[in-house]
A = this chain, B = another copy of it.
Amino acid sequence: MDLDLRKIRYFMAVARELNFGRAARDLHIAQPVLSRQIRALEAELGVQLFMRDRRRTELTAAGEALYTEAAPLLAGAEALRRRVGRAGRGADSFTVAFMPGLTVTGAVRALTAAHPRMTVDVLRTSWADQVEVLRDGRADVSCVRLPIDQRGLKVRALFDEPRVAVLPTAHRLACKSELHLSDLAGETLLQPYDAVPEWQAMTGDTAPSGLSGPSGPPAALAVEEKLEHVAAERGVVVLPQSTAGFYHRPDVTAIAIIDIGPSRVALAWDATRRTRLISEFADLAATHLRAP
């Protein structure tokens, strides 16, 4: 009758690993159990999900469909449990997530003033988190930097801000008041190429999403770590102005790049949620959040 979220979660593990044994270990169950559960799921859906070939396991078309569509369902279930738990703890609360460098205080203050009996929480996110917190219910709205995967979300643009290059203070360019992107030719970019599309156009570099430099550190670094690498003269990073301005250390310098697309900051929320408080906060954010 109802489909079983446990089985769906099992399926997701197998689809990720494409290997029943490893997936079973990840799930902390025995492999035969997993085999049977997947067969049961296939029977229940009336559809074959995997092509098992004694030697390798592959997704069928139906399996692909399930793999892409099931993630939001599981996230939705998690979000539901979080929100109900919060409602049960009696707290009429509202959580605003934000990326480091963005300041949501003004809008949060205004919301608190409008609803004195409500608890307004804030939650710091990272690049990886900024949308996730909406899908799993940890936050009601999230102040994000575009681009994001907008599926399942409503997004409202707040403001644009210039992007800056962060250089070692000792760098030959560090004394300039502004830069063109071409000034950076030959520098090593310490971040995934797709974070700065113009870089790719300039250098022709198309490595998927690793860091440049042959032995570069792994991707998805925290901003603090990136700055550490810059200070060590291992390369440069390009950041939104407010992000770079948020961390100040004497050994690195941020300089505006004038011929590069701006970074856009937006407010995002779950498209299925109630609208009252969220749209109220969106209005407040639009008036209180501006480029620095």
Give A residues with C-beta under 8 Å from B. 1-6, 9, 45-48, 60-62, 64-66, 68-70, 72-74, 76-77, 79-81, 83-85, 87-90, 151-154, 271-275
Contacts and interface: CB of A to CB of B under 8 A. Distances in A.
Contact of A72 (B1, B45, B76): B76
21 contacts: A2-B74, A4-B5, A46-B85, A47-B84, A47-B88, A60-B88, A62-B85, A64-B87, A65-B84, A65-B87, A65-B88, A69-B79, A70-B80, A72-B272, A73-B77, A151-B272, A151-B273, A151-B274, A152-B271, A152-B272, A271-B272
A85 B47 contact: yes
Nearest to A88: B47
Contacts of A83: 65, 69
Contact of A66 (B4, B64, B72, B80): B80
Q: State the oligomeric state as a number of copies.
A: 2
Given A2-B9, A4-B5, A271-B153, A61 B87 contact: yes
Contacts of A47: 84-85, 87-89
